[in-house]
Structure 1
């Protein structure tokens, strides 16, 4: 049934993945405060602070594509409410996709930080934390789906 609490959590997973696509993931300022490096779901951009000109841009499209896949899996899982085991499997795959996103974000920021400003860590912002919100929502959705499945099995046993 689409009005169950797990449907709300799966919708929140999709919203969190859209937030990853929209908002930046990480910011870092170089030691003399003349350049800023920003990672979003699509690129790693270095800008001059004074003129706002882009100095360097690297394509990081794989993060955005994985976020789109995670949002799509959440919506697909939301629509599979009649088949709870399939829904749980889709959610487990989605958890792996989101963990991959987190791993890639950390790896990209770590390698960029080594070159740009190795003495100071950058700041993770909304796009990064949205992945964790989506991960927690996905885990909660799976928990409630499992709870429903156990309830259905116990009712079948009583008959």
Structure 2
């Protein structure tokens, strides 16, 4: 039934993915004041001071280099849609379990992409010893991983309960 606890966890996965899409995942301050690197669900941006060596005066506005990471946003959206679809598959718990497994794989890929972008690609920016700050969007992804594990656990528990009751009939 749709009133089960796993429905709440599946809905919370979709909410967490919305939070991750709407909020920045990571940011790192550079060595100088206007320098900043930021990772969101759709882009990795680096704001740098204008170079004095290129013949540009230091008073010119900082330049921003933006790298698109649209695939991260696509994965976040797919996890949200998959979780919402799994809510309405309450009559077929095996399908719900399979969708939770697919969500776990996609969430693992998302974490891999985020950690690569922040810990390896972001390390080149600014102070290499500083790893930067993980923000709300990153913690929403971690929450979604936990909610997915809990939803899968309760779906399997319901399936076991149904099989045990069928055995008694």
Scaled by the length of structure 2, the TM-score of the pair is 0.88
Partner deviation per Cα, 1:71-125 (whole Å, 9 max, x = no partner): 0110111110000011101101101100100000000112332321212111111
**Number of residue equivalences:** 159
Q: Gapped runs of 5+ residues in structure 2?
A: 50-58
Q: Residue 35 in 1 paired to residue 35 in 2?
A: yes
Scaled by the length of structure 1, the TM-score of the pair is 0.94
Partner deviation per Cα, 1:40-86 (whole Å, 9 max, x = no partner): 00001123699986511110111100000100110111110000011
CA–CA distance in 2 between the matches of 1:52 and 1:151? 64
Structure 1 residues 1-159: aligned runs within 5 Å: 1-47=1-47, 55-117=64-126, 118-159=128-169
Q: Gapped runs of 5+ residues in structure 1?
A: none
CA–CA distance in 2 between the matches of 1:136 and 1:54? 39
CA–CA distance in 2 between the matches of 1:112 and 1:51? 26
SS in structure 1 of the partner of residue 164 of structure 2 = helix
Bigger Cα Rg: 2
